[in-house]
Structure formats: C-alpha cells, structure tokens
Structure 1
Amino acid sequence: MGRSSRSGGASVDASGRWVLWGEIDVTVAWEVHEILEETVDGTRKTLDLEQVTFIDSSGLRLILLACGGASRPRLLNVPPVVRDVLEMTSLDSFVDMVDEPSA
C-alpha cells in the first residue's frame, strides 16, 4: 500500500518497512500520514530513506510517528540531505541510522 504526489511519496512493503521517496514535504506528509499511522503498533519500525531528496518539518513529523514504538526506529540509507536535518534538529539521537547496500 502506498500513496504519492508528483514530488514524492511513501509506501509500506510486505514486511512493514516504510519506504519514502522524493520530496517529503507538507503535501506528501499530508497524503501518506494515514497509511503510515495505521502501521504504528508498538513494534520497531524500519524506514528506507535512500530515495528521499528533500525533507521539511512535515517529513520529520513522519519520522517522529515511527518513534512511537517500543524501540528506536531504524532509518536505512539516510541521504546527506536528511542526515543534516536530523542532526540540526537533534532528532538523530532518537533513531538508529544504518547504511545497507542497495539491492
């Protein structure tokens, strides 16, 4: 299941991994919030951010949504543009960032 706008989007794969791509701004966050929120069940979330090209505070709110579980969410393949925002806002201390080789 997933949704997207012309600039970006998100989906949840069969394993429950959140996959975000493109520009994660207020428009995209508004479109995808509900489908992501439906998967918040107290378990650790994994977010694949490899294809994210931009993120604003609305996108950070989606990442914070994933922090509602029993443990810190795993952010996979965080691009520099996202890593910089996470570090500037100190949100990097609430997540585990992991680099995995692309398939």
Structure 2
Amino acid sequence: MPQPTTGGIRIERDGAHWVMWGEVDAAVAEATEHEVAAALSRHSTVSLDLSGVTFMDSGGLRLLYLAAASCEQPPRIAGAPENVRDLLDLANVTDLFELES
C-alpha cells in the first residue's frame, strides 16, 4: 500500500489541464491513474502546470509519458522546474512535449 504523499495532481477544465504540485511520485501516480486515464479519454491534447513540483520520480514521469502517448499533439508543459527538465532529458523524452519557459 502506498505511503501518504505530499504531492498530487488536480485535473481541471474537464481534463484538459493538469496542475501538479509537491512530490509527484509512484504513490501519486497510483492514486490518480484512473482519473488521468479518464481525462485523457476526453481530450486529444492536454496542458500541464508543473510550477509547483518539488520532486518527480519515475511514477510522475509515467503520468507525463501517458499523456504524451495518449495525445494527438504533444502535451504543453509550463513551469517545469530544472529537476523535472533533467528527468525528461535523462529519460530521453523531452521531444515528446512542448516545454514552455
């Protein structure tokens, strides 16, 4: 069973916009997987606000990748902190997203 987390994801605009904050880890991914899948079933692209993310591991990366794999257009990511940009680079998936400054 996942431990309590200090991060999360809020899905807005009927699923077209996601706001992530805090520690986006495997526990957050597991807790929100169904909500994320439902949001992706309603939209051909999504925008993501990561400005409040303090940490992201492979669980959070999986949520981002799920968005990229499900959308017709690259998801737009705003406010990605340096550690998340580094994670995207390390995983070699940066080109799957439209990164805003």
- Aligned-partner residue type, residue 90 of structure 1: N
The percentage of counterpart residues that share the same residue type is 33
TM-score by length of 1: 0.85
Within a 5 Å distance, the mapping from 1:19-98 to structure 2 comes to 19-41=19-41, 42-67=43-68, 68-98=70-100
What SS does structure 2 have at the residue aligned with 1:21?
strand
1:9 aligns with 2:11: no
Q: Where does structure 2 lack aligned partners over 5 or more consecutive residues?
A: none
- Aligned-partner residue type, residue 46 of structure 1: S
- Aligned-partner residue type, residue 91 of structure 2: T
What SS does structure 1 have at the residue aligned with 2:33?
helix
More deviation in 87-96 or 40-49?
A: 40-49
Task: Give the distance between the partners of 2:10 and 2:29, measured in 1 at CA.
Answer: 12
Task: Give the distance between the partners of 1:64 and 1:6, measured in 2 at CA.
Answer: 21
Task: Give the distance between the partners of 1:91 and 1:18, measured in 2 at CA.
Answer: 19
What SS does structure 1 have at the residue aligned with 2:66?
helix
Structure with the larger helix share? 2
What SS does structure 2 have at the residue aligned with 1:54?
strand
1:37 CA displacement:
1.1
1:14 CA displacement:
2.4
What SS does structure 2 have at the residue aligned with 1:39?
helix
Q: 2:5–2:23: 8 Å Cα contact kept in structure 1?
A: no
